[in-house]
Amino acid sequence: MELAVICKQAEQVVRAAGAYILENRKIFSFDEVEKKGDRDFVTAIDKATERIITAGLKGLVPEAGFITEEATIEQGTGTLNWVIDPIDGTTNFIHNTPVTAVSVALMSGKEVLIGLVYEVTMDELFYTWKGAPSYMNGKEIHVSTCSDIRKALVATGFPYSREGRLPGILNSAGYFLEHAQDLRRFGSAATDLCYVASGRVEIYYEAYLKLWDVAAGLLIVENAGGTINVVYESDVYGGTAVLATNGLVRQQAMEGIFFRDAFR
């Protein structure tokens, strides 16, 4: 496969999806919101965006299946799949606040071959493919050179279901509030990873995620010079757990995350 060519073609699909999100953001109504679970929402725009993406990607790699958050298409059972989160940051979208992103990855098993994340409110498209640098709107990006956690900005996220999970979450937040420069919660795991890749934050950690939240961003971080620790669908944490750093503060970050034992 010509990954560079496929990535370029996928860019157009992702940008079209982003344009649809922005247009409908202007006319969105709370009447369209459906509840999937505790604090977990979906809208008609999520589903329509997913259909736009899957329709656009179908012909690019005919043998690839789909693994998608909203399951608007038959889910792939083979090795090669497009992994899609049509709107990462649905709660932000509902409240008309940034950050909202489209995340698309092409995976072979657990290996990410192509990753694209389009943060639509800032018109920033992050992308890469296996063996390439990472880019944002055509410009090569790199992780930061910060080596002191006291100067590091940290991003994290919180699960929709929090029962029994708050002690670990709050302990980690307390650690980084004490030891790092500051802590941020942007509301989009895909975007958080890209902010590590582009040097805007030095550390991102989160558990209880799904594959489509992070697949594209993982490769973007790695190809920008960062480090990734990831455990997929852990029995302990009931989901995917991720630590992404610029590499220089990884060990200091490990001291603070409540799920660090999953990586050892």
- Using a 10 angstrom Cβ sphere, with 0-12 exposed, 13-18 middle and 19 or more buried, the burial of residue 221 is buried
Q: Specify the pLDDT at position 29.
A: 61
**pLDDT score of 252 more than 50:** yes
For every residue of 58-118, DSSP letters joined together read TTTSTT-EEEESS--SPPP-SSEEEEEEEEETHHHHHTT-S--EEEEEEEETTEEEEEEEE
CATH of domain 149-263: 3.40.190.80
| Contact yes or no for 214/234 (Cβ under 8 A) | no
Note whether 154 and 184 are within 8 A (CB).
Answer: yes
Tokens of 199: 């040097």
- Residue 45's pLDDT band, with cuts at 50, 70 and 90, is confident
Domain chopping of the chain, boundaries: 3-140, 149-263
146-186 tens-digit pLDDT? 999 999 999 999 988 888 899 999 999 999 999 999 999 99
Please tell me the distance from the alpha carbon of residue 217 to that of residue 192, in angstroms, as a whole number.
Answer: 8
What integer is the mean pLDDT of 192-211?
A: 97
Strand 134-136 with 111-119, pairing: unpaired
Query: For the ranges 36-40, 63-67, 210-214, 233-237, which has the lowest average pLDDT?
Result: 36-40
Q: Residue 220's closest CA among 79, 77, 118, 96?
A: 118
pLDDT of 105 over the 80 cut: yes
Per the listing, tokens 């179908």 go with: 58
Q: Which CATH class is domain 3-140?
A: alpha beta
Residue that has been written with the tokens 């503060």 in this structure: 249
Asked whether 183 and 176 are in contact (CB, 8 A), the reply is yes
